[in-house]
Amino acid sequence: MSDELDTDAIAAALFGSVSLLVRRIRQVPTEGGLTVPEREALSQLERGGPATSSELARQGQITAQAMGTTVGALQARGLVERNPDPEDGRRLILTVTDAGRQQLRDKRNARTELLSRVMAGAFTPAELAQFAAAAPLLERLAQNI
Q: For 121-130, how does the pLDDT look when each residue is reduced to its tens digit (9 = 90+)?
A: 999 999 999 9
The candidate with the shortest Cα–Cα distance to 71, out of 53, 47, 95, is 53
Share of the chain above pLDDT 90, in %: 67
- Residue 28 in any domain: the answer is no
- Residue 24 in any domain: the answer is no
Residue 33 has pLDDT above 70, yes or no: yes
Q: For 37-46, how does the pLDDT look when each residue is reduced to its tens digit (9 = 90+)?
A: 898 899 999 9
- Residue 41 in any domain: the answer is yes
Q: Answer positive or negative: Cα dihedral of 23, 104, 52, 145.
A: negative
- Residue 14 in any domain: the answer is no
Average pLDDT over residues 19-38: 82
Q: Quick check: 117 and 126 in contact, CB under 8 A?
A: no
- Residue 7 in any domain: the answer is no
Q: Quick check: 50 and 95 in contact, CB under 8 A?
A: yes
- Label residues 123-139 b or e (16+ Cβ within 10 Å = b): eeeeeeeeeeeeeeeee
Residue 2 has pLDDT above 60, yes or no: no
- What range does the domain containing 83 cover? 33-143
Q: Quick check: 67 and 60 in contact, CB under 8 A?
A: yes
Q: Quick check: 73 and 38 in contact, CB under 8 A?
A: yes
Share of the chain above pLDDT 70, in %: 96
Q: Which residue has the higher pLDDT, 35 or 63?
A: 63
pLDDT value at position 1?
A: 43
Average pLDDT over residues 119-145: 95
Q: How many domains does the chain divide into?
A: 1
Residue 120, H or E segment = helix 98-122
Residue 32 has pLDDT above 70, yes or no: no
- Residue 67 in any domain: the answer is yes
At 75, which CATH number?
1.10.10.10
Calculate the average pLDDT of the chain.
Answer: 90
Q: Quick check: 74 and 103 in contact, CB under 8 A?
A: no
